[in-house]
Structure 1
Amino acid sequence: MSAPQRVRHPRPVGPVPALGRAEATLVEHYPRLVRLAYLILPPRLGRHRRVVVAHGVVQNALPARPWPLKHGRVPGPRGDQAPVLGWIMRRVVGAALSYEHGNTRWRRALRPALPAVWGLTLTPRIGDAEELALEQQMATVPAEARAAFVLQHMEGYAPGAAAELLAAAGVTDPEAALRTAEVLGPQDGTRAGLLLDSVEFDPCTVQARPTDLLRRRHWRRWGAAAALLVAVVLTVGQSGGDTVSPDLDGSPAAGGVMVDPSSLVHASATAWKASSRIDFTVWPARGGLIDDRSLLGHVLRTWARPGPDVRVSAAPGTGTGPSPAPPQLLYAGRVDDADVVLLYDGQRVVRYTKNMGRPAELTLSRADNSDVTSAAALVLSRTDGRTRFLFAPWVAESTTRDLLAPDNPAKPLHVGDDGVSDTVPSPGLTGTCSNWPALQLRSSESIAEKHAFLLTDLGDLSPVHLTYTPPPGGGVPARQPREATGAAALVSWSHTACTLRSMADGGVRAVNNWIFAEQQLPENAGQAQWLCSRADTWNGPGRAIVRFQPPTTAAREPGTLVADARDTSYCSRFNQHVLADVRWNAPSGTSYLLAAGSRAVARITVTGQVRADSTATTLAVKAAPGQSAELGALLSTGRKLAAVH
């Protein structure tokens, strides 16, 4: 296990505190500062790595030069204007933020910084469900938003002071960070502060466990082999030779990447039952060829250095280079007359396929931060319009259903003891959209009781998770996405399933159908729905498709397209406000301008040749064809909202 590297803290702005005063202040507030750094650091580092890095960030926050501190512009926490603590806190925040996109990689010193932990995994104690939910929420927002949330609710900063400190720490848009932070945690600020002060986020009270003992044994073996390899290279270099050093499997090493099949990581068959992390890391290795060292070694070498006869493809935003560390073996077996191997390197899933007489294929997809649904299945093969899946060990029940026939019951899908399913029809991505096959799976009760969810194949290795958000209710809290297995959700997806074609092969992780408004149409024409379909990708960018669905919309018909916004936060948890409009003809032939907004819209205004005003979330006004109209809204918070286009 590598020790954390020294972080170069952001360059100080203004006077620097005296070294003695800075050290005394840092020691006095050490637990508080380490907790602050831990909460800001990206969760992708893992709990152990975040603990060690958080301590390193704080311990390296002392100033390099012992200058006396005079009056500075860095605000102090909780109304305390102590300039030394404010100066140190700004250093800690800036250093922790720099880890978000790995941009400290080239600025770290060569020697490791203290503390260095070897042979142990240090993790904070596990909190309750609320703390876990908050941890999962914070993992979905940028580091700047986490910092804004923690500064306000744990350190007691006012929004203006938090924005000032974030700006001093190098955040380019502090106001955007504050807005994003508003969606985190409970609405009660006191409760949010109590959660942040819990043991779940205390990197100074930790549990110690040994690291992977078998992996450490492999590391010792690799270390010895590496030393031998260096000696061979030096000997060859001195003799002027031009030979290539062999790797552990007797074949050429590929750019320094280890290709020994014995280095592959294996999870135990029951690891998922004892883990709080339910993703690909707890998939056991399955298949009839998991002990075939020749095949596995060939796959590793092919991935490390694919030849001209290997077809390499990757989902958008997915790198194709080899893994720098030994990957985990998920599957190796014979599937539909082809050798298939699935590997996972913590960030990507890699599928190797070799059919007799055809070129080998390497397919890669992002899979980081997966969960019980997005890591529930992988595509093993696609042949003749049919797909075969490998299911996660926690999938207790597997069925299939046609999304275009919501009233038809789901049909059982047979799955072998090795987790391999029978083939199911693939969705037709071209031609007439007459049916849309989907998987309806249920998790084991060891994971969650009665937890069923929908997945559909859009061409990548991981099927896409389908969810549903019902119309706004009478209560105050906003409704959250839920599994799309209920009657209303299935009806909603019967209208929009065919629109998923436009998202095929796009690296999509999940799609949510959100009914953000319902509207009684003029002339007693019934009740219409306003729908936003939000697609989130594995690599970040999202897409929002807004549609108007009158009550006469038949199954398989998606209604009227209002807007198609790409690379946007519309209709996500970070942008829950939407306003849209459409021209609609009543049964009498009269033309209307219809508008609708999400639950926080307090007033809708139409200006131009068409003029109208409504204090509800919907509006209907007669508008002749060709008449111009400009739409705007006011939120309950006082902020203005423009229509999505």
Structure 2
Amino acid sequence: MEQQATAPRSLPVDVEQAEAALIEHYPRLVRLSYLVLPPMARSRRVLAAHALVQRALPRNRVGPQELVGPAVPVPRAGQRTPFGTGYAYVRQRVLRSALAAGAPRGRFRVPRPEQLPPLLPQVWGLRLFPRSGGADELALDQALAGLSAPGRAAYVLRALELPGDREVREALAAAGVADPDAALAEAARLRAPAGSRDASLLESPEFDPCSLQARPTDIVRRRQHTRAALAALAAAVVSAALFGWPAGDWGPDGAAAPPYARNAAAEAALDPAKLTRVTPDAWKRADRAGFSVWPARGGRTDDTELLRRALAVWARPGSSVRVTATPGTATGPAAGPPQLLYAGEVGQAAVVLFHDGLRLVRYAEARSGDSGGAALDFARTDAADADSATAVVVGRADTNVRYLTAPWVSSASVRDLLVPGDSGQPLRRDADGVTDPVPSPASVSGCGTWPALQFGGHLVTDLGELAPARLTAGAPDAPHDVNSPAARAGWAHLACHLQSMRAQGVRQVNSWAYATQSLPAGGGEAQWSCARGETWRGAGSRVVALFQAPGQRPGAPGSAVARAVDSPACGAHDAHVLAGVLWKAPSGAWYALAAGSEDVQSITASGGVRGSAPGPLLAVPAKEGAQTELTARLADGQKIGSLH
């Protein structure tokens, strides 16, 4: 025969203890509230659980010796109240509120506060819900939903909170349950999965409202409501314009149309049917190859809804859209219908690539379509030609990159720039020209390798942007592809210094070995080189001068002795360069070395080291740590300084 519940004896509760208990055991209390609440949408249930716990303390502060709220059961001899009486008090208030939220309500009765949507917390534009568990967790959740509110409370208290049925009865009675014995009997009849016997299922992430996943609300409905609101706002603006503004007075805008006037070109840019699509063989007949002659490829080029979303996000990126752009690239909407390069699925994303004559634009969203987030990337690519339009990044995931190659790329392979003799590994591409994943140099720790891509005769590398940078070698006024052993050896020493050019909008990097110097004291022969990264925007170039001491292994990074930003040095318009370094000979003596390009007639050192030499090379004894200033004269009498 079941024992009848007795009225619990009360225990004074210090409100400060209750506050401390709520803060310390907040996740446990929210889990209890979440499990006892009646069945409802998981996102609403999460917010309701947090709201009930956050309202568990009284609004008015009371003295430490006063009783606050419902009575707290007194522990019996030998029984320890888990976490103290402060926790028991807060748990009792949470339990009472959760039970009240599930109580039936008459047709014309005013709902209780617990039955109303919580004022706080609130999350706009997102649905929050716990992580999904397995089949056992789902079965247990469905079984709990079939119980009454007191039955759920009895089951959860017995499994997670209290040591015996007597304590459960007292807690239920204190929370206002009229028949605790019936609630316990109902909980005992629940057929739960085997894994719940030791409470492991109730403690799983499936029932943890403090470890959440976020998804957007109904995007379609939200867009419909947004369009309706915008239409109403536009009508209000038009009405104000017609009835509230002086006729013919448009202020300082001159001949501009009224603010509410429609722009046909802007509207056309949002219409998927008006996208520019190039025929598959247009590049064969073009006077100049570039992105403008790429055909539209991919398995979703006819997916009107995907294209419409991509164009709309481009025109009006919302707060959930991650927007990136290379330096100097505008992120505004298209001036008219752009060109479609690609629309398809890459890994777990649906990707769309556009080209508007000046920029590449990449739109990506979740392939499943259940997320409101998206990514929008911009890269300036004006004046691209066949050499610089060999590929576009279509996806980045797990430190790997996938490319869409130009239609004229006949072969693709991956090479390690640090290994001059590497012949490359073939890179597979699908029918649309999308490559298999390739490691990004950014994922390499310590520059132990530097993956580069060989597309036909062109060598390119990823610098963290949409368009890979082309790598060349030779004099600045006549750069050529990296197709000789000497050029590959030079790039092996330079590759690790490409890190300084990442995310700078670099279009092409040229390596130029401008001088060879016989070192004093029998030190051997050193190599001087410079690398110049030209940007798509024409400004912000990166220049680095390297000194390669003799005897270093192939692939060993050269010593960067000078750097410059936005300098014409080492470029086609100013093919002059001067750099210096302090070098320690094998004998232990120090020298100030300097080297200039071949048109340098003389070099002078001043400051901590003084000396001069005719021609483009200088070697002067120096002291360790000495500071010197270098100048050089060219054949036409022009004076240049060293890179810094």
TM-score exceeds 0.5: yes
Which letter maps to 1:518?
A: T
Does residue 465 of structure 1 match 2:470?
Answer: yes
Aligned positions of 1:583-598 closer than 5 A: 583-598=582-597
Gaps of 5+ in 1: 1-228, 443-451, 471-477
Structure 1 stretches of 4+ with a deviation exceeding 6 A read 232-236, 238-241, 244-248
Aligned positions of 1:423-572 closer than 5 A: 423-429=437-443, 431-442=445-456, 452-469=457-474, 480-540=478-538, 541-572=540-571
Residue 391 (structure 1) aligns with: 405
Q: CA deviation at 1:340?
A: 0.4
Which letter maps to 2:509?
A: V
Q: CA deviation at 1:523?
A: 2.3
Superposed CA deviations along residues 332-372 of structure 1, whole A, max 9, x for unmatched, are 01111211000000010000000145521111111101111
Determine the C-alpha separation between the residues in 1 that align with 2:327 and 2:268. 24
SS of the aligned residue for 2:313 comes to helix
SS of the aligned residue for 2:513 comes to strand
Sort the Cα spacing of 1:380 and 1:247 in 2 relative to 1 into closer, same or farther, 3 A: farther
Structure index of larger Rg? 2
Which letter maps to 2:359?
A: R
Which letter maps to 1:368?
A: D
Aligned positions of 1:592-611 closer than 5 A: 592-608=591-607, 610-611=609-610
Does residue 273 of structure 1 match 2:287?
Answer: no
Q: CA deviation at 1:430?
A: 6.0
Superposed CA deviations along residues 556-599 of structure 1, whole A, max 9, x for unmatched, are 43222211111211111111111111111111111111111101
Residue 636 (structure 1) aligns with: 635
8 Å CA contact 1:233, 1:245 repeated in 2: no
Determine the C-alpha separation between the residues in 2 that align with 1:527 and 1:500. 25
Sort the Cα spacing of 1:310 and 1:235 in 2 relative to 1 into closer, same or farther, 3 A: closer
Residue 417 (structure 1) aligns with: 431
Determine the C-alpha separation between the residues in 2 that align with 1:317 and 1:480. 27
Q: CA deviation at 1:310?
A: 1.4
Residue 331 (structure 1) aligns with: 342
Which letter maps to 2:308?
A: G
Q: CA deviation at 1:373?
A: 2.1
The alignment covers a number of residue pairs equal to: 394
Residue identity over aligned pairs, in percent, reads 45
Residue 368 (structure 1) aligns with: 382
SS of the aligned residue for 1:515 comes to strand
8 Å CA contact 2:399, 2:443 repeated in 1: no
8 Å CA contact 2:452, 2:460 repeated in 1: yes
Q: CA deviation at 1:239?
A: 11
Determine the C-alpha separation between the residues in 2 that align with 1:608 and 1:338. 59
Gaps of 5+ in 2: 1-230, 244-258
8 Å CA contact 1:265, 1:328 repeated in 2: yes
Superposed CA deviations along residues 263-317 of structure 1, whole A, max 9, x for unmatched, are 1001111111111111000000000111111111111111111112211111111
Residue 392 (structure 2) aligns with: 378
Determine the C-alpha separation between the residues in 1 that align with 2:285 and 2:563. 43
8 Å CA contact 1:395, 1:441 repeated in 2: yes
Superposed CA deviations along residues 94-125 of structure 1, whole A, max 9, x for unmatched, are xxxxxxxxxxxxxxxxxxxxxxxxxxxxxxxx
Q: CA deviation at 1:552?
A: 2.3
Residue 34 (structure 2) aligns with: none
Determine the C-alpha separation between the residues in 1 that align with 2:550 and 2:327. 37
Sort the Cα spacing of 1:582 and 1:245 in 2 relative to 1 into closer, same or farther, 3 A: closer
Residue 289 (structure 1) aligns with: 300
Sort the Cα spacing of 1:245 and 1:296 in 2 relative to 1 into closer, same or farther, 3 A: farther
SS of the aligned residue for 2:603 comes to strand
SS of the aligned residue for 2:568 comes to coil
Q: CA deviation at 1:624?
A: 2.5
Which letter maps to 1:612?
A: G
Aligned positions of 1:180-199 closer than 5 A: none
Determine the C-alpha separation between the residues in 1 that align with 2:393 and 2:627. 50
Determine the C-alpha separation between the residues in 1 that align with 2:433 and 2:495. 27
Q: CA deviation at 1:422?
A: 1.2
8 Å CA contact 1:310, 1:361 repeated in 2: yes
Determine the C-alpha separation between the residues in 2 that align with 1:325 and 1:434. 46
Determine the C-alpha separation between the residues in 1 that align with 2:309 and 2:626. 67
Sort the Cα spacing of 1:429 and 1:500 in 2 relative to 1 into closer, same or farther, 3 A: farther
**1:403 corresponds to which of 402, 410, 417:** 417
